[in-house]
Amino acid sequence: MKLKSILGTAVLLSAVFFTNINAQNTAKSTKARAEYIEVEPNVKLHVIDLGEGKPVVLIHGYPLNDASWEYQYLPLVKAGYRVIAITLRGFGQSDKPYGKYNYDQFASDIKTVLDKLDIKDATLGGHSMGGAIALHYVAKYNAAHVSKLALFAAAAPVHTKKPDYPYPLFTKEEITNWVDLVSVDRPGLLNTIGERFVLSATSVPAGIGAWLGGIEMQSSAYAMEQALIALRDEDLRGDLPKIKIPTLIMQAKQDRIVAYALAEQMNKAIKGSILIPFEKSGHALFIEEKDKFNEEFLKFLKQ
């Protein structure tokens, strides 16, 4: 009787032990991830962190935020990837401090987030200004945490025409007019950008257009002004030879914000890069042609 009692007690304790272990493992696997990550004292960035698997890091364009990737999140998560979208300082739900809003600052913030999350072997993707920042990050930090680069209608390497670089669509004076408009009529600036953002007035439903406008108005006026100055003045031509990792370039031929010629120039300058043209969208190719966009992006991720 004593032996049976001892054995019964041992079995019960063993069951309790493994039940506790399983509960702990379940808790670990379902533990909520941080929605805000501090990049310096008093500055926290909003981060959407979904899924499991190899990481994909996404940087939004001007003046959007991490919500703009809504139609990429589920396809990437369902395909087995961990998606991390970072909202740049000054935009969306990230903090909006006084200070610098240039590509060095944005790249430094991204580096801090990836350091803190201990990200390895990620694909870094960016749209528009976010593409320029992603390009600068890889060049500046020698592709730290990153093994692939994806540029979506990237406003790079230069966004304004120069005497020795005629490929951008805008002159410095034209972008300066946009900068001035921030402090006079910010909704008017967003309307000006919005008219060029899509291929046509009917290429996205009205609800999608209103949704994007709402996202844009979450930005701080100061950040919009300073980031637009950076977009006007930054020159990343010196970064192009530093890109040594596999690079995907996706660009709409009829984009009225970033010229297709810029994508062609980057394709020539980044050895081994792949250029995928889009025929039925404007600057919002990830929304206007989201099925093709997601398909091509997943193809690149799996290579």
Residues with active-site annotation: 128, 255, 283
Pairing of the two strands 36-40 and 43-50:
antiparallel
Q: Which run of H or of E encompasses 231?
A: helix 221-233
d(C-alpha 298, C-alpha 303), whole Å: 9
Please check whether residue 140 is in contact with residue 295, taking contact to mean a CB–CB distance below 8 angstroms. Answer: no
- Which one, of 88, 159, 153, 160, lies nearest residue 127 by Cα? 153
Please give the span between the terminal C-alpha atoms of the chain, in angstroms, as a whole number: 64
Q: Where are the alpha helices (DSSP H) in 34-102?
A: 70-78
Residue that the structure tokens 């034209």 belong to:
174
Please check whether residue 160 is in contact with residue 173, taking contact to mean a CB–CB distance below 8 angstroms. Answer: no
Tokens of residue 204, six digits: 């996205």
Residue 223 phi, psi (nearest 5): -65, -40
d(C-alpha 158, C-alpha 132), whole Å: 9
Integer angstrom CA distances of residue 210 from 17, 36, 63, 64: 54, 26, 14, 13
